[in-house]
Chain A
Amino acid sequence: MLAGLVALSRDRVLALMSLAHGDEKHDWSSVSTVDPLVVLYGRILRFDPTNPRWEERDRFILSKGHGPSAFFSVLAACGFFPEDTLRGYMTKGNPLGGHPDRDLVPGVEASTGSLGHGLPVAIGVALALRAKGLISQRVVCLTGDAELNEGSSWEAILLAPHLRLSTLTLLVIDNHTSSIEMAPWEGKLGSFGWDARVVDGHDHEAMYEALSRHAPDRPTAVVADVGREDEA
């Protein structure tokens, strides 16, 4: 399936998340990823929900594994599994837990939860695709701003430009939960060699434009500023 064939919207994903959360308030960790995920799965990524391991798919790794209900809702909306599965979110016997498990959930590339693991893995995936001659496939890794406190993430941020991984995109959801000031993003990531830009994390066109482009000789970083929870 090519990108753009799935009718995704913020409202649709929020409605599906209500199946997972019931009457409880959606957690900010999930909600803050909704708009970027809608753009990614609706317009950017190539995938086939009937064949989740399709060799020519783009790869998406939710490195920030916590708060995955938005991700699960997007996967359900795309047809990776029945929407009704969301009703059993985080309950016994249901494959949808508090962190995504690649062996349990179709469409999940990596089992994540412990922060700082996803970007190194994404580098390995991008290198593997290059070794296999799959040079048009993209690898997108979603992290949070606080996750980037992790040293292992900065190891990977140092390494990816060195390897000229132009197919790799780091998508940072800046929901301002980091206790350590992470800005200025463009200056920090740019000085490590990334083609970095900050966009409004609710502006779908801006995110689409930022996520569509990638430099030929270095990785891309898109920081989606979604504001603070009390501003949402």
Chain B
Amino acid sequence: MPTMREQACATASELFRNEERVVLVLGEISLGYFEDAFRLAPERAVNVGIMEQCMIGVAAGFAMEGLLPIVHTITPFLVERPLEQLKLDFGYQRLGGTFISVGVSYDYSIEGPTHHSPGDVAVLSTIPGFEILVPGTAAETDRLIRATYSNGRPTYVRTSIRQNGQSLEVEPGRIEVIRRGNRPAATVLAVGPMLTPVLEASAGLDVSILYATSVFPFDGETLLREAGDLVIAVEPFQEGTLAPRIAEALADRPTRIRSIGAPRRYLIGYGTPDELNAAAGLDVADIRRRLEPWVSV
């Protein structure tokens, strides 16, 4: 199975090859994946170097002229550093573009907090009109990019090292029902690459499991239909990010909402991605440890 990053770059390259309106705006990252694109149509591919604010503005200029920019770099430098450009150049001006990140949450596990980005989805959620997609596998990354690259809206695609064991035929704005419990004590909403850890962590527990790859648009309708009175979101990004979406969907009935996700603190230290996920409480054992008391009440 390719990584999400490999797949995202391959998908973007194919769209670039087949669709003359697609342009690539890169910030010195992943250039090796796009060598063919630069050879094929250099007038539609630009590497701006290390200047992420400018990178987003350049992409907006392309979008103003009716082209379809695909922008790609490392997550904190794609989302947090040029946040105002995303907000004003794209969000406010209602321009379309695809923003593909690499290295989310603690993926850059040997680099320290300068390269961590568990808050990406939370900060992008503040921008009206921004769509946020969190695929769980490489194949889902491909599906979601193809479904949205020309939708005329700014769309964030979050690629992670962590992948689920199998892919689903996901669509933007749709929650998938993975399993319905018999007398479920809770509805667990797994987001993106947290599905496989959730399935493993909930073994033997009578819970319903839903799967979301789309934060905006959010499928409140399916959640309302499927959810019991305890909803537990298991998020690969900052814990609680989805809580407002869940609360909004279930606003007309009493519901308890719990969240398991990246903690709101700097994760100091180094190691493998798995080791940092464990340090953040995002491995299977920790998810199980937190689920058990909630679902056994």
At the interface with chain B, which of A3-11, A34-42, A122-130? A122-130
Residue among A119, A122, A131 with most chain B CB within 10 A = A131
* CB-defined contacts of A114 to chain B, threshold 8 Å: 84, 88
Instruction: Write the nearest CB–CB distance from A13 to chain B, whole angstroms.
Output: 26
Q: B57 touching A151 by the CB < 8 A rule? A: no
Instruction: Write the nearest CB–CB distance from A156 to chain B, whole angstroms.
Output: 5
Residue among B48, B59, B66 with most chain A CB within 10 A = B48
B231 interface hit (Cβ, 8 Å): no
At the interface with chain B, which of A102-110, A184-192, A201-209? A102-110
Query: A133 — nearest CB in chain B belongs to which residue?
Result: B43
* CB-defined contacts of A159 to chain B, threshold 8 Å: 48-49, 51, 54, 58
Query: B65 — nearest CB in chain A belongs to which residue?
Result: A128
How big is chain A's contact interface, by range? Answer: 20 to 34
Interface string of B93-105 (1 = CB under 8 A from A): 1100000000000
Instruction: Write the nearest CB–CB distance from B93 to chain A, whole angstroms.
Output: 5
Q: A116 touching B92 by the CB < 8 A rule? A: no
A92 interface hit (Cβ, 8 Å): no
Interface of chain B residues 48 through 70 with chain A (CB within 8 A): 48-49, 51, 53-67, 69
Q: A125 touching B64 by the CB < 8 A rule? A: yes
Q: B57 touching A128 by the CB < 8 A rule? A: no
B23 interface hit (Cβ, 8 Å): yes
Cα-based distance from A122 to B64 in the complex (angstroms): 10
Instruction: Write the nearest CB–CB distance from B60 to chain A, whole angstroms.
Output: 5
* CB-defined contacts of A120 to chain B, threshold 8 Å: 53-58, 60-61, 85, 89
A132 interface hit (Cβ, 8 Å): yes
Partner of B46, one of A103, A121, A125, A163: A163
Interface string of B24-61 (1 = CB under 8 A from A): 01000000000000000001101011010111111111
Q: A124 touching B53 by the CB < 8 A rule? A: no
Partner of B57, one of A111, A113, A117, A130: A117
Q: B57 touching A123 by the CB < 8 A rule? A: yes
Partner of B59, one of A111, A117, A124, A130: A124
Q: B61 touching A126 by the CB < 8 A rule? A: yes
Cα-based distance from A103 to B93 in the complex (angstroms): 8
Cα-based distance from A126 to B60 in the complex (angstroms): 11
Query: B57 — nearest CB in chain A belongs to which residue?
Result: A120
How big is chain B's contact interface, by range? Answer: 20 to 34
* CB-defined contacts of A156 to chain B, threshold 8 Å: 51, 54, 57
A155 interface hit (Cβ, 8 Å): yes
Instruction: Write the nearest CB–CB distance from B128 to chain A, whole angstroms.
Output: 14
Query: B20 — nearest CB in chain A belongs to which residue?
Result: A131
Q: A117 touching B85 by the CB < 8 A rule? A: yes
A44 interface hit (Cβ, 8 Å): no
Known pairs A130-B43, A131-B43; A152 contacts B53 (CB<8 A): yes
Query: A132 — nearest CB in chain B belongs to which residue?
Result: B65
A158 interface hit (Cβ, 8 Å): yes
Instruction: Write the nearest CB–CB distance from B88 to chain A, whole angstroms.
Output: 6
Instruction: Write the nearest CB–CB distance from B17 to chain A, whole angstroms.
Output: 15
* CB-defined contacts of A128 to chain B, threshold 8 Å: 23, 61-62, 64-67
Interface of chain A residues 136 through 166 with chain B (CB within 8 A): 151-152, 155-156, 158-159, 162-163
Known pairs A155-B54, A159-B51, A163-B46; A122 contacts B61 (CB<8 A): yes
Partner of A111, one of B48, B62, B88: B88
Q: A131 touching B89 by the CB < 8 A rule? A: no
* CB-defined contacts of B65 to chain A, threshold 8 Å: 124-125, 128-129, 132
Residue among B23, B46, B48, B65 with most chain A CB within 10 A = B65
Partner of A131, one of B59, B60, B67, B93: B67
Q: A151 touching B62 by the CB < 8 A rule? A: no
Cα-based distance from A103 to B25 in the complex (angstroms): 25
Which residues of A pack against B, CB within 8 Å?
102-103, 109-111, 113-114, 116-117, 119-132, 151-152, 155-156, 158-159, 162-163
Can you list 28 A-B pairs, Cβ within 8 angstroms, ordered by A?
Answer: A102-B93, A110-B64, A111-B92, A111-B93, A117-B84, A120-B85, A121-B60, A121-B64, A123-B54, A123-B61, A124-B58, A124-B62, A124-B69, A125-B62, A128-B61, A128-B65, A131-B23, A131-B67, A152-B53, A152-B57, A152-B85, A155-B54, A158-B49, A159-B49, A159-B51, A159-B54, A162-B49, A163-B46
Closest 3 CB pairs between A and B? A124-B61, A120-B57, A128-B65
